[in-house]
Amino acid sequence: MATKTINLGRRTEKPAQPSADAWVAQGAETTAKSLEAKGAVKRISVDIPLEMHRKLMIYCVTNDTKITEVVRGLIERELADK
């Protein structure tokens, strides 16, 4: 019967990676700075039909834009005359 030899030699150490806390803090600082520039914000959630979502996604991809930009633009236009 053949035996398999496994090398259990010393492991090479991986390079140090920044901690998860540092990574999260960096993202929080970036988000906080962008929010300060825009003013206070509030998140909303809206349910839309599947077909409308598909059309919106296609629109955003073909026009190189984000859903948030489209929705904000639509809301701003709707409320402009109010």
Phi, then psi, of 22 in degrees rounded to 5: -65, -40
Residues 6+ apart with CB under 8 A from 57: 67
CA nearest neighbour of 38 among 61, 74, 72, 79: 72
The model's pLDDT over 17-58, given as tens digits with 9 standing for 90+, comes to 667 777 666 665 666 566 667 677 788 999 999 999 999 999
For tokens 């349910």, what's the residue? Answer: 47
Please give the pLDDT value at position 67. Answer: 92
Interatomic CA distance for residues 65 and 77, integer angstroms? 17
| Residue 2 predicted with pLDDT over 90 | no
Work out the number of other CB atoms within 10 angstroms of the CB of residue 2. 3
pLDDT-derived band at 8, boundaries 50, 70, 90: confident
